[in-house]
Amino acid sequence: MKIHGKVFVVTGGGSGIGRALSLALLQRGARVAAVDVNTTTLAETAQLASSAALSTHIVDISNKAQVEALLPQVVEKHGTVDGLVNNAGIIQPFVKLADLDYPSIERVLNINLYGTIYMLKTFLPALLKRPEAHVVNISSMGGFFPFPGQTLYGASKAAVKILTEGLYAELIGTNVGVSVVFPGAIATNISQNSGLAMPETDAESARIKPTSPEVAAQTIITAIEKNKLQAYIGRDAAMMNIFYKLNPRGAIHFITKQMESLLPK
């Protein structure tokens, strides 16, 4: 799908990948409705964009009523909607599942999974009416490969993966393209946005060079333009995908060793 002249809704538009993607789409001639729960960071995105083609919307995507109220706001501002990027998400506290409390579990599922479902259910009818449209759901490297201490987060993102691929199957033959994206380590403030203090890492963990949000945004745009079902962001995501398929047990033991310093003793 061509980007120029299209209207995109981007969740998590206040920072990280969502902000970089919103700005990149605007640069490519699109109109963007940037969605976030954080008023301050969303205002910063608007200031950086400095464009009438951007609208900002304060929405908690885990709140179904707020999501359902978003569609008419976007249509009123932009006239229609051609693309949806479900990017907003949080991680869990760095603890093992046995030590993870239920409020944390519910918060991760409500934002990462139910938030994506609410957005899809709300916007799909409008997208299906367009001559050409596209949906992007952001999963994670943790959605196809387990990270100890992020097991529940990974489960939520694995659900997003299968949700997206099932949606792709259901929309074959329609005007709506579907992509699922698997970011590896990205230089964002997801820990802060998740309300967490990032554990200190050892020298081995620090060797991982995160991909910039700007590179991530370009990867997502390419997936839209080329109607790719799957896209991997960063060499770490691409390499671990291959490693895990070839040797699942070895890959799990490898990442468990890398994650030791992040987990409580």
- What does pLDDT average to over the chain? 93
If you average pLDDT over residues 124-150, what whole number do you get? Answer: 97
Given the residues 153, 168, 232, 244, the one annotated as active site? 153
The token pair at 97 is 């599942």
Unique residue bearing structure tokens 């700007």: 214
CA distances from 7 to 3, 27, 34, 132 (A): 8, 13, 11, 11
Residue ranges of the domains in the chain? Answer: 7-262
If you average pLDDT over residues 125-135, what whole number do you get? Answer: 98
Reported confidence tier of residue 62, pLDDT bands at 50, 70, 90: very high
CA distances from 168 to 114, 158, 164, 173 (A): 18, 15, 6, 10
Contacts of 57 (CB under 8 A, 6+ apart): 33, 34, 35, 36, 70, 73, 74
Q: How many Å apart are CA 175 and CA 140, to the nearest integer? A: 26
The region of weakest confidence among 32-36, 44-48, 199-203 is 199-203
CATH 3.40.50.720 fits 7-262, yes or no: yes
Which among 198, 182, 179 has a CA at the least distance from the CA of 242? 182
153 has catalytic annotation:
yes
